[in-house]
Chain A
């Protein structure tokens, strides 16, 4: 995935089945953000892999004061990339099991 300066990792082991999964997001390189970033730490949250949209969660983070509006796209993309990877791994696991 592209290096956005925002890192998103799994915050629990993926059993390959649960729809809602715990993620952890933190800023690895503040220089890649357009807005001035407050060093608040890592943000833990749960994400519904089926029903939720990464950009909506990013917008909620903006509204909660973690990021500025100008960075909503980069935060959303970072979450989207991680979610895509989780889904890809799951598909690969399922297909290799068949």
Chain B
């Protein structure tokens, strides 16, 4: 899947990745 990286001004990295579909509706 596609990933994208966002770096906040505070220096924290956020990496956007696909939602794990199998875990979307865990009980």
Contact = CB atoms under 8 A, between A and B. Distances in A.
A41 B12 contact: no
B15 A43 contact: yes
A44 B12 contact: no
B18 A41 contact: yes
A64 B8 contact: yes
Contact of B20 (A40, A42, A57, A65): A42
Interface residues of A, number: 19
Contact of B14 (A7, A9, A28, A64): A64
A58 to B, nearest CB: 12
A41 B6 contact: no
A28 B10 CA distance: 27
A65 B13 CA distance: 13
Nearest to A39: B19
Given A9-B23, A60-B8, A45 B14 contact: yes
Interface of A: 7, 9, 24, 26, 28, 40-46, 57, 60-61, 63-66
Interface of B: 6, 8-10, 12-20, 23-25
